[in-house]
């Protein structure tokens, strides 16, 4: 298999929905055009930001097909296929290979959880084998899954049991482990950092690329952070990162994060509708207040 290696920013895409919570896949094309114009490196489809845990497998397949069609080879598509059922995860993986995704990723089962690294590797090997022609990424987000195992050991065991293992989407602030993973086996695996408000720290720890929700509507901000860091302009990178951190703190303290992020995509000019229950969409008054708060922070200028 040809080596698949992602650098740069990868938006974890939103799934567009109608007001009643049904899929609004006609909006996928404009969303992909918007992201491609901002020169992001790939699209991460049907992940946490995409509300995959609240979607049926059929809906996830339809959503992925829409993104692959809209991308049309212009930009790589990474399909998240994780599921509480390994059988459903295998089916989603096989479908992703069939419809032209460029890579797959999977969360671990998050209700009945793998208790050891060897069990986790067995689960991921089972999923990855269903799409043997696609690079496979493990999606590490212990804050949501409750699965918090040794990722260096996962790479060690996974290298032997998952032939198409490409790397890890690492959505956790444990930078010491992230750095160890990025340097494991001479940097053999592609490590994608998944904490937007800590991007500078991730870059310092050796991130090869980054996957995140806020890259959907503020890619220019994070591209400038990345440029400043690479140029050794540490103070500038830190100041821009502070703006990202302040935005996230505002969402967490005053609003509901995922519904707010989806609203912010609308502020950037690409409406993708509300969130689906159990996420509660913002009211009109909350959207107005959020817009005002972002303006006060100076964040709106990056939504372009």
* Residue-by-residue DSSP string for 251-295: HHHHS-HHHHHHHHHHHTT-----PPTTSPPPPHHHHHHHHHHHH
Rounded-to-integer distance, Cα 8 and Cα 1, Å:
22
- Active-site residue among 139, 170, 215, 222? 139
Encode 64-99: b = buried (16+ Cβ within 10 Å), e = exposed: bbbbbebbeeebbbbbbbbbeebebbbbbbbbbbeb
CA 12 to chain CA centroid, Å, is 3
Cβ neighbourhood burial of 159 (10 Å; 0-12, 13-18, 19+): middle
* Annotated catalytic residue 139: yes
Cβ neighbourhood burial of 130 (10 Å; 0-12, 13-18, 19+): buried
Rounded-to-integer distance, Cα 167 and Cα 170, Å:
9
CA 46 to chain CA centroid, Å, is 9
- Active-site residue among 34, 138, 169, 262? 169
Catalytic residues: 139, 169
């Amino acid at each position: 298999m040809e080596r698949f290696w992602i650098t740069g920013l990868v938006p974890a895409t939103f799934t567009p929905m109608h007001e009643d919570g049904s899929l609004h896949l006609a909006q996928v094309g404009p969303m992909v055009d918007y992201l491609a114009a901002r020169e992001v490196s790939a699209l991460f489809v049907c992940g946490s930001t995409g509300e995959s845990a609240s979607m049926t497998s059929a809906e996830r397949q339809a959503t992925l097909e829409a993104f692959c069609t809209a991308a049309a080879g212009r930009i790589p598509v990474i399909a998240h296929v994780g599921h509480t059922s390994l059988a459903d995860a295998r089916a989603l993986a096989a479908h992703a290979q069939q419809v032209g995704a460029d890579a797959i990723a999977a969360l671990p089962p998050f209700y009945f959880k793998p208790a050891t690294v060897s069990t986790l590797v067995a689960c991921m090997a089972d999923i990855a084998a269903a799409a043997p022609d696609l690079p496979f990424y493990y999606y590490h987000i212990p804050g949501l899954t409750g699965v918090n195992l040794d990722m260096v050991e996962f790479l060690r065991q996974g290298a032997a049991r998952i032939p198409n293992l490409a790397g890890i989407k690492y959505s956790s602030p444990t930078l010491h482990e992230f750095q160890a993973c990025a340097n494991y086996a001479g940097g053999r695996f592609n490590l994608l950092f998944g904490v937007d408000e800590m991007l500078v720290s991730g870059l310092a720890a050796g991130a090869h690329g980054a996957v995140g929700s806020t890259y959907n509507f503020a890619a220019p901000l994070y591209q400038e952070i990345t440029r400043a860091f690479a140029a050794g302009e540490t103070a500038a990178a830190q100041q821009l990162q502070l703006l990202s951190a302040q935005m996230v703190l505002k969402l967490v303290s005053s609003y509901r994060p995922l519904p707010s992020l989806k609203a912010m995509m609308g502020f950037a000019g690409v409406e993708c509708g509300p969130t689906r229950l159990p996420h509660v969409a913002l009211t009109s008054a909350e959207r107005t207040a959020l817009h005002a708060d972002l303006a006060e922070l100076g964040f709106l200028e990056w939504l372009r």
